[in-house]
Structure 1
Amino acid sequence: MQWSPLARSECRTVLTSKGAWILAVLIVLKGFSPTYTGWGAVGQNITIGYIQIGVSLFLPIGVLLLTYQSLISERTSGSIKFLLALPITRAQLLFGKVAGRFAAIGASILAAILALSGIGLIEHGGFSVLQFVETVLATLLLIGVFVVLGILVSTVTQRTVTATALAFAYFLTDLFWDSIVMKLYTAVAGVPVDPYNAPASGPLFLALRLTPGGAYNVLTNWILGVGNSAELLTTVYIKLKPGTGINAFVVEAAFESGAVPWYLHPALSLAILLAWLVVPLVLARRLFTRGDIL
């Protein structure tokens, strides 16, 4: 494969940087959070739950920061002219960038997952291998999504400051997505949204899971058998536990007496993640191969 030397170079660049390993350490520190709530939700599979908890905050912004300069730095240094002179197409160059960054970041995150798994194995004993593998695959898909988004940002911007602003704008949007959706729903439907007693609205719950992080939580909650929600597994467990209440959007709690719309099936969260992977990649390829990238 003609793009493989470039991919290996990108992979080495990321693996030898501090950023990828700082991200891995942060995921371990964030993920390892043994609680009675987590144990009550999934028992010994709380070790797998540590993965979901660990990647929830730091992975999106971490991966974006490790990828958003991949092409901008080449333009700034002038090395983009050297890369374009190589006997590969622009599409192959872009794919080499994506593959290399994904391999490196994926390796560092897998190291974090193995560390969490080792800690969990010592603390809690064995866990479901099948659910562990499925959760790891879902996490790798999420990494791929943010690698592609970072490459897209690097493709459409000419300056580092602009790319940085876009990366943090996305992070803040994702962080406050629930609030944004609630305000939009209230404005459109004219009905205030109370997360403590959420309305049984299919469009509302669909909107809440349209972000990569929301779709990932829905998918991993489904894998772990916790519930149908874009919230973290511990929050879902508290929401569904009899006699307790919490501000959270959980399908089983909102649709107690009615049929759940088909498009809220957790399996469709996989389609949402795949869309986040494919659409930005196609857009980045189109812009990179047809636009002026110098």
Structure 2
Amino acid sequence: MTSHITTVARKDLEDAGRSKLLWAIVGLLVGLMAIGYVAAWATIDDATGAAMLGFVALPLSVLLPVAALIAGYMAVVGERRSGSLKLLLGLPPNRTDVVFGKLLGRVAVISSAVVLAFVVALALSLLLFGSVPFLDWLAFGAVSLLFGLTFVGLAVGVSAGVASRGRSMALVVGTYMVFVGLWELITAGPYYLIYGETPPIEAETWYLLLLQLNPLETYANVSSTIVEGEVFPFMFRYGLEPFEAQSMTPAERYVGDAPFYLQEWFGAVAMLFWVVVPVAIGYYRFQRADL
């Protein structure tokens, strides 16, 4: 990492930190967590800090991707459209410094939001319930951080690869809507065309692998192995799968010993895919763009 990347990252962190909408979403996330903890403490006799970790997953799965996309979708293209990018490239930073400096800056913003959320969760657990499973809290925090970085990488990659704000917004919003609202149709539809039936619980391996590639579903599956209770993904369902399958991981739906790429831990690799690939494509296009 060159000093120019860190210079761009520091400047970008300051710029992104001025977004009122971004911090309003972060404030909403922390506020919902605080309200939920206090409500559970006041109304549920046997509520525990361990059980409340599962509650944290719901607002995170809804608000964290939105915050990450807002933080990243204008990272590069905003500078490009305002004309400040040419000025920046006239200084020591080059195009590589710009892309990875912007990525690092936006990662720092979302990481700060995740850390803040989990510090609040830790404090409330200790204050209201007297304890918290620290290792589970730490592991769940790491998975949530990776989940947020997934959407930062997606947004910054798109921002680097397009030439207009409208295209960047359309691509990041469209991709997010595919994850939330269309994934079951996109995956179960071809399954029906090939096999003449909707996916059963014990579906074909390729289909189960496609389920692993949706970061929303993967985050829920990995989180369910860490916290108490089931964590359900924030996704629209169309009834194309058996109801029981919605609470099962791809590995649990596989007959016999599941291959490594269907195991819950491989979900972390799937989320990294959405960091690395969009950034690589965006970087490639940005390097060859006529600015």
Asked if TM exceeds 0.5, the reply is: yes
> What pairs up with 1:79-90 in 2 under 5 angstroms?
79-90=84-95
Q: Which moved more, 1:80-89 or 1:175-184?
A: 175-184
- C-alpha contact (below 8 Å) 2:212/2:267 kept by paired residues: yes
Q: Deviations over 1:206-250 (max 9, x none)?
A: 2222112222222222233757xx8349xxxxxxxxxxx767241
Return the alpha-carbon distance in structure 1 between the equivalents of residues 73 and 281 of structure 2: 15
> What pairs up with 1:45-194 in 2 under 5 angstroms?
45-176=50-181, 177-193=183-199
Return the alpha-carbon distance in structure 2 between the equivalents of residues 98 and 178 of structure 1: 30
Return the alpha-carbon distance in structure 2 between the equivalents of residues 223 and 74 of structure 1: 40
CA displacement at 1:252 relative to structure 2: 8.6
Q: How many residue pairs were aligned?
A: 272
- C-alpha contact (below 8 Å) 1:208/1:214 kept by paired residues: yes
Q: 1:204 aligns with which of 202, 207, 217?
A: 207
Going from structure 1 to structure 2, the CA distance change for 1:159 and 1:232 (only over 3 Å counts) comes to closer
Q: Which runs of 5+ in 1 are unaligned?
A: 234-244
CA displacement at 1:30 relative to structure 2: 4.8
Q: Which runs of 5+ in 2 are unaligned?
A: 235-242
Q: Name the amino acid aligned to 2:126.
A: L
Return the alpha-carbon distance in structure 2 between the equivalents of residues 145 and 232 of structure 1: 15
Return the alpha-carbon distance in structure 2 between the equivalents of residues 253 and 11 of structure 1: 39
Q: Name the amino acid aligned to 1:278.
A: V
Going from structure 1 to structure 2, the CA distance change for 1:271 and 1:82 (only over 3 Å counts) comes to same
CA displacement at 1:78 relative to structure 2: 0.7
Q: Deviations over 1:89-144 (max 9, x none)?
A: 21111111011111122112321222233233333331211111111111222222
Q: 1:248 aligns with which of 236, 246, 249?
A: 246
- C-alpha contact (below 8 Å) 1:61/1:168 kept by paired residues: no
Return the alpha-carbon distance in structure 1 between the equivalents of residues 250 and 270 of structure 2: 20
Equivalent residue, structure 1, for 2:23: 21
TM-score (norm 1): 0.81
Going from structure 1 to structure 2, the CA distance change for 1:129 and 1:2 (only over 3 Å counts) comes to same
- C-alpha contact (below 8 Å) 1:67/1:147 kept by paired residues: yes
- C-alpha contact (below 8 Å) 2:211/2:250 kept by paired residues: no
- C-alpha contact (below 8 Å) 1:20/1:108 kept by paired residues: no
Equivalent residue, structure 2, for 1:273: 271
> Partner of 1:274: helix, strand, or coil?
helix
Going from structure 1 to structure 2, the CA distance change for 1:96 and 1:255 (only over 3 Å counts) comes to closer
- C-alpha contact (below 8 Å) 1:12/1:104 kept by paired residues: no
- C-alpha contact (below 8 Å) 2:157/2:278 kept by paired residues: yes
Q: Deviations over 1:178-204 (max 9, x none)?
A: 34322232222211246xxx3444333
Q: Which moved more, 1:144-153 or 1:185-194?
A: 185-194
CA RMSD, Structure 1 to Structure 2 (Å) = 2.9
CA displacement at 1:8 relative to structure 2: 0.9
> Partner of 1:3: helix, strand, or coil?
helix
CA displacement at 1:10 relative to structure 2: 0.9
Equivalent residue, structure 2, for 1:285: 283
Going from structure 1 to structure 2, the CA distance change for 1:119 and 1:43 (only over 3 Å counts) comes to closer
CA displacement at 1:23 relative to structure 2: 1.9
Return the alpha-carbon distance in structure 1 between the equivalents of residues 135 and 252 of structure 2: 30
Going from structure 1 to structure 2, the CA distance change for 1:54 and 1:121 (only over 3 Å counts) comes to farther
Return the alpha-carbon distance in structure 2 between the equivalents of residues 254 and 142 of structure 1: 22
CA displacement at 1:25 relative to structure 2: 2.3
> Partner of 1:223: helix, strand, or coil?
coil
Q: Deviations over 1:4-31 (max 9, x none)?
A: 2221111111223212321212323555
